[in-house]
Amino acid sequence: MNRRFFSPAPLQIGPLQLTGTEAHHLLHVLRATPGDEIILFDGAGGEFSACIESTARKTVTCQVVQQRTVNRELPAELVLGVALPKGERQRWLVEKATELGVTRLVPVETSRSTQQRVKQQRSSTPGDRLQRTVIESCKQCGRNQLMDISPPASLDVFLRAAPAESHRWMAHPQDATSARGCVTPTIDLPTWLLVGPEGGFTENETTQAKAEGWQTIDLGPRILRVETAAIALTSLVTLPTG
C-alpha cells in the first residue's frame, strides 16, 4: 500500500487531523484503521512518520511521531519552460516533470503557441487539477517538495529571467548550431530548459534566445511531441550516470 500522504498544514510532532482527499484515500480506498503507520510530507521538504489514532467518516486523526531526514531533490534548481500541450498530454507532462525533480514549471507563450492556458495559474490553490497531479506524483515517487507551477510567461520574459550563472538549454530540432550528443548531466548550477510548441520556435525566437545566452540542443533526428521533448530533455540533465 502507498503509505505516503500530503499535509497542506505545516507538520510538527503531535496530533494532526487529515481531511479532504487524503482522508478519503486513507478511509475509503486503503481502509486504514487505528494503529496503521503512515508517512506524511508537507510539500516543502519535510517528511514525518505518523500513526493513525482514530478515524471518523471524513477525518483521520494521527499522531506525528518523528521527523525523517531525507532529501530527494536535485542539487540545484531546475526550471522547465514549455509551451504546454492540452488536456491529458498536459497532465502527463506535469506528472513526469514532478517525478524527475523539476523545481518549477513555467507555461511559456510563444508566437506559435496554441491558446491553451493552464486553467488554474497558481499551483498553490487547493483542488486545482494540476496541483492534484503534482501531489499524487510526489506521493508515488517519494518527493517531499512539490513542483511549483508558475503563471504563464511570455517567451521574452522567460528567456531573460534565467540567471546569468546558469545552464540554459533550448530544445530545437535540426539546427546546425545545436549541441548534439550528451549534455553534462551534473546540475552544478541552476539549470533552465525550454521546449517549444507543436509549430516550433520561429527564427526570430531562436535568434533572440541565443542572444540571451541560451544554447540550442538537438534531441535526435525524429521530431518529438512537446511533452516527449520536455521529458527527454529533462531526463538528459537529471538522470544519474555511471
Q: Which three cell numbers stand for residue 146?
A: 512539490
Q: Between 201 and 214, name the residue whose CB sits nearer to ligand SAM.
A: 201
Tell the smallest beta-carbon distance from residue 171 to ligand SAM (Å).
3
Q: Which three cell numbers stand for residue 59?
A: 477525518
Q: Between 19 and 154, name the residue whose CB sits nearer to ligand SAM.
A: 154
Residues 6+ away with beta carbon under 8 Å from 184? none
Q: Between 26 and 118, name the residue whose CB sits nearer to ligand SAM.
A: 118
Residue with cell 531525507: 70
Tell the smallest beta-carbon distance from residue 112 to ligand SAM (Å).
8
Q: Between 27 and 105, name the residue whose CB sits nearer to ligand SAM.
A: 105
b/e map 99-119, b = 16+ CB within 10 Å: bbbbbbbbbbbbeebeeeebe
Which of 111, 122, 72, 132 has the alpha carbon at shortest distance from 206? 111
Nearest residue to ligand SAM, by Cβ distance, number only: 200
For binding to ligand SAM (CB under 6 A), which residues are involved? 171-173, 195-196, 198, 200-201, 218-220, 222-226, 229
Tell the smallest beta-carbon distance from residue 84 to ligand SAM (Å).
11
